[in-house]
Amino acid sequence: MTATAATRPAACRGLWEEFGPRLELAVQAAAGPLAAIEPGRLASLSIVLPGMSAAARASVGGDSCWLAPHQEFSLYGSGTALRFDDDVIDGFQAACARWCALDAHGIPPVAWFSMAAATAAPRLSLRVPRLLLRLAADGATLTLSTRREAAVPPSEVARQWLAELRQFLAPAAEAQRADNAILALQPTPNAETWCSRVRTATSAIAAGQFAKVVLARRLAIRLAAPVVPGELAARLARIHPECYALSFPHGRGWVVAASPELLAAKRGRRLVSHALAGTARRHAQPDEDAQAAAALLASPKERHEHGIVVDAIAARMVAICDGVDHPATPAIMPLRFLQHLCTPVSGCLRPGAGLLDAVCRLHPTPAVLGHPVEAARAWLARAEESRDGLYSGVAGWIDAAGDGDGVVVLRSAYLEDRSAILWAGAGIVAQSDAAAELAETELKLAAMLEVLRTS
């Protein structure tokens, strides 16, 4: 599977056909300013694309995407201009401080970032894509980025950008839609082992080892045909418009997710994190659905589990924010199949603290690991639970001005050729019932299975 095929939906007309001449002129004109930039610096060219057609918007390629329908905001990226795997925060801030705009718009470039699963040692990585298309309610902008290399003439950079743009913006062939057969399913652990593990966890909680731990189930799937990650992300965005849908390369494959859980969003100095814990099933009948929501709000067990997450997020934000605040009572976040208790926690970042600092401080929350964190992580290690495919990790975007969003990777699939790995978890507290927690994981897995079958 090529990088372009990884994220491009089918469309009848491409952006290159619509905007090619404009892009060629802008890229060729940027060669002069690029020649004057000191080697080693990050440089970018931003081009406004006015009046983009709906068909052209559907034809974007690349290797990564971020889709937030509820914000009327999408990002599509391709390639890597800069990458940071060590000293990420300092390295990215230094690169941004020396960033040079090759145009009058001065739109800062964007970087993708991710952190490993909650059970793993925290590790942040970041990459600035070579090409990035922003689609928002107020218009579209294409940003091309590069690290200035003395050995590469600006004319060669322009030639490479144009070649990459033609592939990134060309329309894909119309896909033949058909249900994708699931040939094999392998859950780990099975139902019996899971229920035993839940009972062991509640005993450990009763013994005072920790207050909460999150257990997860892994479902390995063999499919009749490969799934195109970008098409799956686009479908998830349509089905779950209130979530953040994404498709990122990871290992030898792609992580695709539709996450409802906003770990951190920064705009200016304002930081917001959504505490999400406590779950109930949705119902087709409005009366039944309202009753389920009321029962969720009234449940001592669910409110206790939710309160642990709210308190932990607020306590961590106090270290980097002033004016940390949150509502006293959670709200209901209704999704397609589930509804959750949700409490937004907000504050004003102090000087010197940024989005990546907040992500590193907040991850992992008790919603995906447990509380206290280190006690829960140690217990999970002894229980031999490890997670892969970024499940319960973090993925997001940040621009050179420091604004961006990061979400917890939930409702996710790791795709590699004809295989998919799904994960679903449940928060275990003292009052947890093993059968009820099993049913919660089954419901979460079923939601992603439905989408896989029709992708």
| pLDDT at residue 171, rounded to an integer | 61
- What crossing angle do the helices spanning 88-97 and 355-362 adopt, rounded to 10°? 170
Residue 6 binned pLDDT confidence (cut-offs 50, 70, 90)? very low
Residues whose CB falls within 8 Å of the CB of residue 344, separated by 6 or more in sequence, listed in order: 272, 273, 274, 275, 326, 327
CA distance 406 to 181: 33
Q: What b-and-e string marks burial along 226-236, b requiring 16 or more CB atoms within 10 Å of the CB?
A: bbbbbbbbbbb
- Kindly list the distances between the CA atom of residue 2 and the CA atoms of 110, 231, 253, in Å, as whole numbers in the listed order: 23, 14, 11
| pLDDT at residue 11, rounded to an integer | 40
Residue pair 397/405 in contact by the 8 Å Cβ criterion = yes
| pLDDT at residue 58, rounded to an integer | 58
Given a cut of 80, whether residue 172 has pLDDT beyond it is: no
Q: Give the DSSP letter string of 390-423.
A: TTTSEEEEEETTS-EEEEE--SEEEEETTEEEEE
Structure tokens at 196: 């035993």
Residues belonging to the active site: 212, 261
- Report the mean per-residue pLDDT for the chain: 91
Residue pair 324/345 in contact by the 8 Å Cβ criterion = yes
CB atoms within 10 A of CB 174: 9
CA distance 330 to 342: 5
Residue 30 C-beta-side C-alpha neighbours within 13 Å: 29
Given a cut of 90, whether residue 2 has pLDDT beyond it is: no
Q: Report which of 357, 333, 295 is spatially closest to residue 410, judged by C-alpha positions.
A: 333
The mean pLDDT of 104-131, rounded to a whole number, is 92
Q: What b-and-e string marks burial along 369-398, b requiring 16 or more CB atoms within 10 Å of the CB?
A: bbbbbebbbebbeeeebebbbbbbbbbbbb
CA distance 97 to 77: 22
Q: Which residue has the tokens 């040079």?
A: 100
| pLDDT at residue 397, rounded to an integer | 98
- Given the DSSP bridges, would you call strands 212-223 and 182-188 parallel, antiparallel or unpaired? antiparallel
The mean pLDDT of 375-392, rounded to a whole number, is 91
Domain boundaries of the chain, sorted by first residue: 15-169, 182-225+262-390+416-453
Given a cut of 80, whether residue 4 has pLDDT beyond it is: no
Phi first, then psi, for residue 246 (nearest 5°) are -150, 155
Give Cα 343 distance to the centre of its chain: 19
H or E stretch at 338:
strand 338-349
Q: Rg for the chain (alpha carbons), in Å?
A: 23
Segment 29-82, tens digit of pLDDT: 999 999 999 999 999 999 999 877 555 555 677 899 999 999 999 999 999 999
Q: Report which of 236, 246, 234, 241 is spatially closest to residue 405, judged by C-alpha positions.
A: 246
The fourth-level CATH superfamily of domain 182-225+262-390+416-453 is Anthranilate synthase (3.60.120.10)
Given a cut of 50, whether residue 362 has pLDDT beyond it is: yes
